[in-house]
Structure formats: structure tokens, C-alpha cells
Amino acid sequence: MELNTIKPADGSKHAKRRVGRGIGSGLGKTAGRGHKGQKSRAGGYHKVGFEGGQMPMHRRLPKRGFKSALLKYNAEITLSELQALDLAEVDVLALKQVGLVAQIVKNVKVIKSGELSKKVVLKGVGATAGAKAAIEAAGGQVA
């Protein structure tokens, strides 16, 4: 192989479309833009969602719903989930390792749902008033 024999693969190179270069080219006169109208003119276009002055869809439809960013960083666990754990001391890191809460979670709160019969010590984990009473009744504590 010599440098003067190298050529690109078949079909990889093709001539650029030259619009507005006469009738014989197939792209003369209107140069593929059709006749008249905003899209046929230089610089004539509109922003995304524009509907010709009609109230656009994204403004006609009602706005609904809201997802609080707090939901991403806060999590709740139940007394029954605590009961199922084989841990005497429970903190946020332990809950992440077990897979009860997501890795992104920063705050965890125990809610009173289900039963707790074993002693559990909570460290750095919040609890509702009912959950705290149930944990202390089982011999545990909320630190």
C-alpha cells in the first residue's frame, strides 16, 4: 500500500447539497423551502412550543403535582421492620447497609406501625411519640 493509493471507503464521502444553484440541480428556485410562509424566509423561525400565537399546549394545560426534595433525603421505617432486623443498636449507616433505606438518605424516623417485642437502641434515628413509647416499653431506648 502506498500513500497515493489510499482512498476512502465506498459511500463514505458524498457531495454536499448545493441549494439554490439553478433548476437543473433539482434544488433551484425555492431551494427546497416550498412557497412563502415563515419557514421559507431567512431568519424566520419560532421557539419550541410556539403555536402561531395560539395559547401553547404547555400553558393551556393545568399544572399539577409537586415532589418535595425533602422526600429524597428523609426516610421512614416501621416498628415491624425494626423487629425483623438482627441488630441491637440501630443507626442510619446500619439501615443503609441492611438495605432498608436508600444510600442518599440523611434522616430516618421510626413510625408506630406494627409490633416491637425486642430491645433496640436507636442512635441518630428519630422516632414519633408513639414509636418512642413502644420502643421504651420493649426495654429499648431512643438516643
Q: Provide mean pLDDT across the span 77-84.
A: 93
- Supply φ then ψ for residue 132, to 5 degrees: -65, -45
Please indicate, yes or no, if residue 107 is contained in any of the structural domains. yes
For 25, other C-beta atoms within 10 Å of its C-beta total 12
Please indicate, yes or no, if residue 9 is contained in any of the structural domains. no
Q: Provide mean pLDDT across the span 117-142.
A: 94
Residue 127's Cβ-count burial label (10 Å; 0-12, 13-18, 19+) is buried
Counted domains in the chain: 2
Q: Provide mean pLDDT across the span 2-28.
A: 93
Please indicate, yes or no, if residue 4 is contained in any of the structural domains. no
What is the pTM (predicted TM-score) of this model?
Answer: 0.53
Please indicate, yes or no, if residue 128 is contained in any of the structural domains. yes
Q: Provide mean pLDDT across the span 82-91.
A: 91
- In terms of Cα–Cα distance, which of 44, 46, 47, 24 is closest to 34? 44
Could you report the per-residue pLDDT of 17-59, keeping only the tens digit for each? 999 999 999 999 999 999 998 889 998 888 899 998 999 999 9
34: containing domain: 18-46
Quick one: which H or E segment has residue 110? strand 107-111
CATH number at residue 129: 3.100.10.10
Q: Given this model, what pLDDT does residue 69 score?
A: 80
With contact defined as beta carbons under 8 Å apart, do 109 and 128 qualify? yes
Q: Distance (Å, rounded) from C-alpha 74 to C-alpha 125?
A: 11
